[in-house]
Amino acid sequence: MRRALAILIGLAVVVGAAGYVAANHEIVIGMQCDRTGATQTVGVNLCPGYHDYIKLVNSKGGIEGHKIKAIEIDHEYKVPQGMESYERHKKEGAVLIGIYGTPHTYALMAKLVEDRIPGTSPGFGSAAAADGQRYPYLFPIAATYWSQGAAAVKFAKDQLGGNLKGKKIAYLFYDNPAGREPIDVFEDIAAREGFQLRTFAVPPPGVEMGAQVLDIAQRYRADFLIAHLFGRSPSVSIKELKRVGFPLRKVVSFVWGAAEADIEAAGGWSVAEGYNAMQFAGVGSNYPVLDEIRAMYKKEGQEPPKEMNSTVYYNRGVLQAAIHLEAIRNAVKDKKSGNITGEDVRKGFEKISGFTLGGLVPPLKITPTDHEGGGLVQIFTVKGGKFVKSTEWFSAYNDIVAKHIKESGKK
């Protein structure tokens, strides 16, 4: 046993050393993933999307002739393993880290600055990270929970006839820091629009919410419901809302309760008819980039991967990869040798503007002060067995969100 272990460790050291030498020839991205931990339903579809886009770009010759190598490490959504994966990525020469997980984003905030490597946290992490002055190396690159909250209220306003005065809005959320993050923003908007807001917390693990849903539907009689749930709980919420007869067309969910898997777990598409889901990447298969990926597989004589059917998370993986590569492309433009550093990639991020990938990516505009890129989302509605686009890319109440970002920067 000990001998076997010794051999394993020896091999590991050799392989690690070999990877270090090879890193000079290609641009390395460190990618964290969770295929086995608390959020594995996301990872199993998101990470293949990420790799497929990288593969597509490499098959077309890479970026200005430089190949991209994305090293994926699964951290099981555990922080110590996330730290280990970061150090490993750094050792392999990564110029960019695709962080995965809110606690991991917090844990890496200080390190990224010290090592001058940019990291991205699309759809999780801290909303305050949109402030590029305060967190120069952290890029949310997608709508934060504050922007999502503001957009959700705007959507409710449009659905309720353009006026929220005297209306009752319920906020059903998973009782953790991420769940409570947008409440302050809601309260500010409520004061401006004159609607009534009541919050309903769902304690972890978030599979018991019968009482809250009944309260929303029959005692509080909400005019609109904004839901912010994770993991198994979005599907439970759909089931419970259906059971008490709350109309699902008056529900809008944040981005982590918005996948095909959630609808299927709730009992299928017919059950969830009318449910509105917020997205920071386009949903569905009708995007040119997805056609290209399918064509790439066809040329290799393979079937497209089954993960492509879970378009919500797969497309988010593609979005993440596309924005990463766009930042690297901007960096390589200035340094044709391809010998770029994390600092170059950071500047590359801050030049991203008007990059849409045929509609799959919102028209972000990332600047040295705004690392979120505008906080754009789309709403998709369950209609006839699939997600149908209900709105174009939009953001709302930008002044209120900006005020909160500024305030948190002072702390």
Partner 1 sequence: MLKTTYEADMALYPLPIARWTVAAIAVLFFVVLPLVLHEYYLSIINLVSIACIGALGLNILVGYTGQISVGHGAFMSVGAYTAANFAVRMGAPWPVNLIAGGLMAALVGAIVGIPSLRIKGLYLAIATLAGQLIIEWTINHVTFISGGVQASIEVPRPEIFGFRIASQTEMYFFLLGFVVLAVVGTMNLVRSRIGRAFVAIRDQDIAAEIIGINIFRYKLLAFAISSFYAGITGVLYTYYLGVANYEQFQINVSIDYLAMIIIGGLGSVLGSIFGAIFVTLLPIVIRLSMESFGGYLFSDAAILNIIPNMRLILFGGLIIIFLVAEPEGLNRLWRNIRSYFRVWPFAY
Instruction: Provide the binding-site residues for partner 1, judged by CB under 8 A.
Output: 5, 8-9, 11-12, 14-16, 20, 33, 35-36, 44, 47-48, 51, 72-74, 76, 78-81, 83-84, 87-88, 90-91, 102-103, 106-107, 109-111, 114, 126, 128, 175-177, 180-181, 183-184, 305, 408, 411
Question: Rounded distance, CA 191 to CA 201, Å?
Answer: 21
B/e letters for 41-69, b = 16+ CB within 10 Å, e = fewer, are bbbbbbbbbbbbbbbbbbeeebbeebebb
Shortest distance in whole angstroms from residue 271 CB to partner 1: 30
Question: What DSSP element (H or E) covers 163?
Answer: none
Joined tokens for residue 113: 């600055």
Residue placing its CB nearer to partner 1 in the complex, 111 or 232: 111
Question: What DSSP element (H or E) covers 319?
Answer: helix 311-334
CB 322 within 8 A of CB 352: no
Q: Please give the torsion angle defined by the CA atoms of residues 96, 411, 101 and 119, in that order, rounded to the nearest 10 degrees.
A: 0
Residue placing its CB nearer to partner 1 in the complex, 12 or 191: 12
Shortest distance in whole angstroms from residue 124 CB to partner 1: 11
Residue placing its CB nearer to partner 1 in the complex, 80 or 368: 80
User: Which residues are registered as beta bridge partners of 225?
Assistant: 170, 251
Shortest distance in whole angstroms from residue 401 CB to partner 1: 15
Rg of the chain, C-alpha, whole Å: 22
Question: Rounded distance, CA 356 to CA 277, Å?
Answer: 20
Residue placing its CB nearer to partner 1 in the complex, 16 or 274: 16
Shortest distance in whole angstroms from residue 246 CB to partner 1: 27
Question: Rounded distance, CA 394 to CA 204, Å?
Answer: 31
Residue placing its CB nearer to partner 1 in the complex, 173 or 275: 173
Residue placing its CB nearer to partner 1 in the complex, 23 or 214: 23
Shortest distance in whole angstroms from residue 136 CB to partner 1: 14
The CB-based long-range contact list for 74-78 (8 Å cut-off, 24+ gap) reads 74/33, 74/34, 74/35, 74/36, 74/37, 74/43, 75/32, 75/33, 75/34, 75/37, 75/100, 75/101, 75/104, 76/34, 76/36, 76/37, 77/34, 77/37, 77/38, 77/39, 77/101, 78/37
Shortest distance in whole angstroms from residue 247 CB to partner 1: 30
Residue placing its CB nearer to partner 1 in the complex, 7 or 388: 7
Shortest distance in whole angstroms from residue 267 CB to partner 1: 28
Residue placing its CB nearer to partner 1 in the complex, 302 or 337: 302
**DSSP letter (8 states) at residue 168:** E
- Got the DSSP string for 137-153? TEE--S--HHHHHHHHH
Shortest distance in whole angstroms from residue 15 CB to partner 1: 4
